[in-house]
Structure 1
Amino acid sequence: MKDSTPLPTIFDTPVTRTFGTRVPVVAGGLQWLSKAEYVSAAGRAGIISFITAASFAEPEDLKAEIEKCREMCDGAPFGVNISMIPKLVQGERTAEIFQLVADSGVKFVETSGRSPEEFMPILKEAGIKVLHKVPSLRFAVKAQSVGVDMVSIVGAECGGHPGLDMIGSMVNAGLAEERLDIPWLIGGGVGRGAQLVAALGMGASGVVMGTRMLVSEELQAHGDYKQALIVAKETDTALCMQSVRNTVRSLRNETTDLVSKLEQENPDIGIKGLLEHVSGAIGRKAYATGDISRGILSAGHALGFIRKVQPMAEIVADFEVDALKALDRLGCAA
């Protein structure tokens, strides 16, 4: 299915100017799922997304995916997400990945997990714009101090890793304007254009969406997995792994129930005691088979906005229409 005709440009923010997008929306990097088909569809639809480097076991595979995405984007913007969460095994190759991405000609990088300070020279020398994703405003202030170009702050409502502070998106947005000098985006529970308008009114330069994009046609995941998200409500998420200071919000299933029970019974269980249940390989299998009963399957409160599987361009177009309606309610529409 061909991408629909885009709506006229109605936004002009540091996000649209930096990335060259029509809409100030970032489709955040999704572990195992943010591949060329999905990322390029986002670019062609007028927003930006990021290939997740951690989805590729070998650097050469990542390099090939970058080239594939570049061809599929047909000039539209895209980037690479590099997660710096400490590895559970020896042999971390984070510096190697940063250098590979810099050498590949990628213009935009989304970093997450820990401070990118030690890798900033590689990125800046290559002229790469850096968007750093954080789970709390205090980390955004730190990222600003090390020279990132902009930050995205994801609140407690987000799927994946909301951090330990568990501050909601509305409060994060209200405080960010006071504490940050660089452009910032807000994420966590975002799925409607009206929320973008609200965020812009609070000083944000854009928003981040992850969960809402999980039902895009271009996402390479099993149809049964997407159908489960359509059926799910905003109340169908669970928090676990707090005991190892790595809180995750994901789709409630047998695994989240079990892990929560294990943590309650033994708060000192440690990551080794949980790993057989929370391994990324289990979640990756769920995306391939559609069996969502096991695995940590990141999903946030934006599940409430999901209605059906749609092409990325249609999701973005619906989002824009909703934003225009919000502007009209405020008497600001053109």
Structure 2
Amino acid sequence: MNAISPTSDIFDTPVTRAFGTRLPIVAGGLQWLAKAEYVSAAARAGIISFITAASFPELDDLKDEIEKCRDLSEGKPFGVNVSMLPKLVQGERTQEVFHLIAESGVKFVETSGRSPEAFMPILKGAGITVLHKVPSLRYAVKAQAVGVDMVSIVGAECGGHPGMDMIGSMVNAGLAGQRLDIPWLIGGGIGSGAQLIAALAMGASGVVIGTRFLVAEEIQAHADYKQRLIDASELDTELCMASIRNTTRSLRNDTTRTVSGIERDNPNVGLQELMQHISGAIGRKAYETGDTSRGLLAAGHALGFVDRVEPLADIVGRFEADARNAMKRLGCAA
């Protein structure tokens, strides 16, 4: 599939056409942090982001956040992320969330965690475009089979949940064009515009960015948390929780060292034994207090690109300029 229109701007791809955005960039859902201020800032910057449904335990609060985001987005597109991991959104709650999204008039949904197959009738019946995020190409093939509109594949370099296969973004991108017929995006370690051009050249319709955007002014997190990310490099992440088949890449800190040590000493450790260290409530405190020594704070190798706090539109602007410079290096019009 040719992801790039040969007769128009390099950034005119199936992603920009489906979402109605200016650039083929998805700002992936960020647990606790992807709220209306950030998501609407992405919309106004010409990209798309998703409110994280799991951050709102009460459906009425999610509905209010959607309305707030709609007011702030100035008519630009945004969506809602629904993580279907059992510990985040269980049973019938997932169905209720999808019904709420449909009733709220949201037209774009990012799903993750497990197959959205059971909920596709709700989503497609409401005319919703479904982007399904997966940690490996093999899951993307399955998602294509159940009728999602596009997939994003996040490689081993990503912050959060890179899955168990641990295949890098470059390999995922190289193989995706051979195995997928629907539009696909690549994520994991994406922090520069040059990488976007490389992804488009490999057949991607866009890229997914998480870590690089964590220092945006619109992210509601403590200044000390953001400064820790700026001070960090691509070497400052750690993998843990593989023992419970939920591998997580996080900012290296006391918690990652503790959990890694427990897993090393007891490969058969269970979730309950780890919960006192990995509870989401602990990580959320870091965003509120700036104390980054505790909690699993999702961060990927794109930490190497994080350099200062600034409005999201400025980060996107620098990203776009870098992409156009990359095109010039190739001798192409940008």
TM range (shorter): over 0.9
- Which amino acid is the alignment partner of residue 288 of structure 1? E
- Which amino acid is the alignment partner of residue 320 of structure 1? E
**Structure-1 separation of matches of 2:70 and 2:89:** 31
Specify the SS of the correspondent of 2:214.
Answer: helix
What is residue 80 of structure 2 aligned with on the other side?
Answer: 80
What is residue 4 of structure 2 aligned with on the other side?
Answer: none
What is residue 111 of structure 1 aligned with on the other side?
Answer: 111
What is residue 200 of structure 2 aligned with on the other side?
Answer: 200
The answer as to 2:136 corresponding to 1:140 is: no
**Structure-1 separation of matches of 2:177 and 2:253:** 37
**Structure-1 separation of matches of 2:9 and 2:66:** 28
What is residue 320 of structure 1 aligned with on the other side?
Answer: 320
What is residue 246 of structure 2 aligned with on the other side?
Answer: 246
Aligned length: 327
Shift of 1:196: 0.3
What is residue 128 of structure 1 aligned with on the other side?
Answer: 128
* Identity level (%): 76
TM-score normalised over the length of structure 2: 0.96
**Structure-1 separation of matches of 2:278 and 2:89:** 15
What is residue 217 of structure 2 aligned with on the other side?
Answer: 217
Shift of 1:56: 0.5
Shift of 1:48: 0.3
**Structure 2 contact 84–90 (Cα < 8 Å) conserved:** no
**Structure-1 separation of matches of 2:23 and 2:131:** 16
- Which amino acid is the alignment partner of residue 132 of structure 1? H
Shift of 1:139: 0.1
**Structure 1 contact 43–78 (Cα < 8 Å) conserved:** yes
What is residue 46 of structure 2 aligned with on the other side?
Answer: 46
Q: Deviations over 1:110-154 (max 9, x none)?
A: 000000000000000000000000000000000000000000000
Q: Deviations over 1:234-280 (max 9, x none)?
A: 00000000000000000000000000011111111110100110000
**Structure-2 separation of matches of 1:276 and 1:24:** 39
1:1-334 paired onto structure 2 within 5 Å: 10-87=10-87, 93-334=93-334
Shift of 1:86: 1.1
**Structure 2 contact 155–187 (Cα < 8 Å) conserved:** yes
- Which amino acid is the alignment partner of residue 226 of structure 2? K
**Structure-2 separation of matches of 1:283 and 1:170:** 30
**Structure 2 contact 54–89 (Cα < 8 Å) conserved:** no
**Structure 2 contact 212–306 (Cα < 8 Å) conserved:** yes
**Structure-2 separation of matches of 1:91 and 1:76:** 32
What is residue 4 of structure 1 aligned with on the other side?
Answer: none
TM-score normalised over the length of structure 1: 0.96
- Which amino acid is the alignment partner of residue 75 of structure 1? G
**Structure-2 separation of matches of 1:239 and 1:153:** 18
Instruction: Please provide the CA RMSD for this pair.
Output: 1.3
Q: Deviations over 1:44-72 (max 9, x none)?
A: 00100000000011000000000000000
**Structure 1 contact 9–22 (Cα < 8 Å) conserved:** no
- Which amino acid is the alignment partner of residue 65 of structure 1? E
Unpaired segments ≥5 residues, structure 1: 1-7
Q: 1:176 to 1:90 in 2, by over 3 A?
A: closer
Q: Deviations over 1:98-121 (max 9, x none)?
A: 111111100000000000000000
**Structure-2 separation of matches of 1:240 and 1:322:** 33
Shift of 1:90: 6.8
Q: 1:89 to 1:270 in 2, by over 3 A?
A: farther
**Structure 2 contact 82–111 (Cα < 8 Å) conserved:** yes
What is residue 5 of structure 1 aligned with on the other side?
Answer: none
Q: 1:268 to 1:196 in 2, by over 3 A?
A: same
**Structure-2 separation of matches of 1:171 and 1:11:** 22
Shift of 1:88: 7.2
**Structure-2 separation of matches of 1:88 and 1:151:** 21
Shift of 1:10: 4.9
- Which amino acid is the alignment partner of residue 43 of structure 2? G
**Structure-1 separation of matches of 2:102 and 2:276:** 35
**Structure 2 contact 191–212 (Cα < 8 Å) conserved:** yes
**Structure 2 contact 83–89 (Cα < 8 Å) conserved:** no
- Which amino acid is the alignment partner of residue 281 of structure 2? A
Unpaired segments ≥5 residues, structure 2: 1-7
- Which amino acid is the alignment partner of residue 316 of structure 2? V
- Which amino acid is the alignment partner of residue 140 of structure 1? A
Q: 1:263 to 1:294 in 2, by over 3 A?
A: same
Shift of 1:92: 5.8
- Which amino acid is the alignment partner of residue 27 of structure 2? A
**Structure 1 contact 9–23 (Cα < 8 Å) conserved:** no
